[in-house]
Amino acid sequence: MGWLKKFQSENRYVVFFFLYVGFCISYIDRSAIGLALPSISKDFTLAPTQMGVVISAFFIGYSIMQLPGGWMADKFGSKSVILIALTLWSIFTFMTGHASSLAGLLFLRFVFGLCEGPYAGACYRGIAEYFPRELRPAFATGVLSSNYIGSAIAPIIIVPLILWFGWRGMFQALGCIGLVYVFFYAFFYAFFVKQVKPAEEEKAGAKKGSKKEYFLKLLHFSIIWKLVVCAFCISCINKGLDAWMPTYLIAERGINLKAVGYVTPIPFMASFLSTAVCGWIMNKYFDRVEQYMIGICAVMTAVFLYLMYNAETLFWVVVFQCGVYFFKACILGSAVAIVLKIVTGNIAGSATMIVNMGGQVAGFISPVVMGYLVSVFNGSFNAVFYYLIGAASVCALSAFLIPKRKEAMLDLGEGSEE
């Protein structure tokens, strides 16, 4: 049984693998609605604003569960919360295929968001449980790269399922895949994975006060709220484009659903590359001045958005969209990684979910705003892109206003960031 002991001694990498695959599945499941929306809108005769509401229903539930989900992960550990979240959201993904009315669809999407909400916080808590502080930025951004792999794989899986079985059969198939993964996740955790002992710095940090006291003091630091603003602004772009790009490509660029299935994954590979390297770049070149990295990436996001919308051919639309996705992904990964660098692991779930909640609030606001702008301007996306460029500009401003940190961690025993 020597192989088993060796396997268990390297269990942190096994944990990372399972977190990674789970995130991939979550993004495949949530991406399904954007690709199915043209078919759903025909069945339910939806206007653009109603289409935006359908997308936003998920993010309302998802946002509500950010802080409670982080708290549950800190209270009960990452494994239990992850297994429960995976099981429940897979069931409601399956049930989406049985929606018989707009009201029913909205309810299912809302509850699906509630069920998936705790997963991200539990994942970040898992990273804090299994990885020392110096490795967290790289692995936090690394696990986020799974979001983009999932989003890139989604059209390859979802478009054929829609063409073969319709949008209802597609959701049913995705739900079944999620439930099968729950079984394998539980099996490998039970038999192969053991908890790694926390680092000494984590034990010392935990002795400063209770989780509640630590968390409440954290709310007094302006860096946290400026990161929330950054996450909100860049997620307006992230969630808006994820939701509306298939419709934009079909309605304004004149390509069909099959072609969308080929084109959509390409920019997500740029996001994958970004999140795979940004944690390493942050530690090597932007340690304690991470805000400059975020600000530069926000400016570049705005530039590529402008170029993307003014591109004359589909080829250049995709090229510039890759630029947008590369830089915006780096911002999202960096915001979470900074939090994991400045807090102790005993509140990692709750702390990261403060920032993540800012991003998810944008998830239900931005698609509705974009749908409204498309309706008001008679199907034109001009105003939509100016809105997205404005969001990137506010993100850059908020990042550049974050003060330089003198210490590696926030001193929660004091009252300042300096």
**Radius of gyration for the chain, computed over Cα atoms and rounded to the nearest angstrom:** 21
pLDDT tens-digit series, residues 35-68: 888 888 888 887 777 777 887 788 788 888 877 8
Q: Which amino acid is present at 223? A: I
Q: Confidence class of residue 416 from pLDDT cuts 50, 70 and 90?
A: very low
3-state secondary structure of 142: helix
Among candidate residues 337, 325, 237, the one with its CA nearest the CA of residue 274: 325
Length of the chain: 418
pLDDT tens-digit series, residues 233-252: 988 888 778 777 777 777 77
- Higher-scoring residue by pLDDT: 65, 418: 65
Long-range Cβ contacts of 178-181 (<8 Å, 24+ apart): 178/25, 178/29, 178/86, 178/89, 178/90, 178/93, 179/87, 179/90, 179/91, 179/94, 181/21, 181/22, 181/25, 181/86, 181/90
Quickly tell me which residue has 């059969």 as its tokens: 169
Mean pLDDT score, 129-148:
66
Residues 363-382 as b or e (16 or more Cβ within 10 Å = b): bbbbbbbbbebbeeeeeebe
> Quick check: 171 pLDDT over 60?
yes
pLDDT for 139 equals 61
pLDDT tens-digit series, residues 242-292: 777 777 777 777 676 667 667 777 887 887 788 777 777 877 788 777 888
Q: Confidence class of residue 407 from pLDDT cuts 50, 70 and 90?
A: low
pLDDT for 144 equals 65
- Higher-scoring residue by pLDDT: 24, 4: 24
Domain ranges of the chain: 8-400
> Quick check: 3 pLDDT over 50?
no
Mean pLDDT score, 392-417:
72
pLDDT for 341 equals 73
φ, ψ of residue 272 in degrees (nearest 5): -60, -45
Q: Confidence class of residue 4 from pLDDT cuts 50, 70 and 90?
A: very low
- Higher-scoring residue by pLDDT: 175, 190: 175
CATH class (in words) of the domain with range 8-400: mainly alpha
Q: Confidence class of residue 209 from pLDDT cuts 50, 70 and 90?
A: low
> Quick check: 309 pLDDT over 90?
no
pLDDT tens-digit series, residues 374-383: 878 777 777 8
Contact 242, 151 (CB under 8 A): yes
Contact 371, 52 (CB under 8 A): yes
Q: What is d(CA 73, CA 355) in angstroms, rounded to the nearest whole number?
A: 16
Q: What is d(CA 189, CA 49) in angstroms, rounded to the nearest whole number?
A: 44
Residues 46-63 as b or e (16 or more Cβ within 10 Å = b): bebebbbbbbbbbbbbbb
Q: Confidence class of residue 174 from pLDDT cuts 50, 70 and 90?
A: very high
> Quick check: 297 pLDDT over 90?
yes
Quickly tell me which residue has 């239900």 as its tokens: 364
3-state secondary structure 222-246: HHHHHHHHHHHHHHHHHHHHHHHHH
For residue 1, count CB atoms less than 10 angstroms from its CB and return exposed for 0-12, middle for 13-18, buried for 19 or more.
exposed
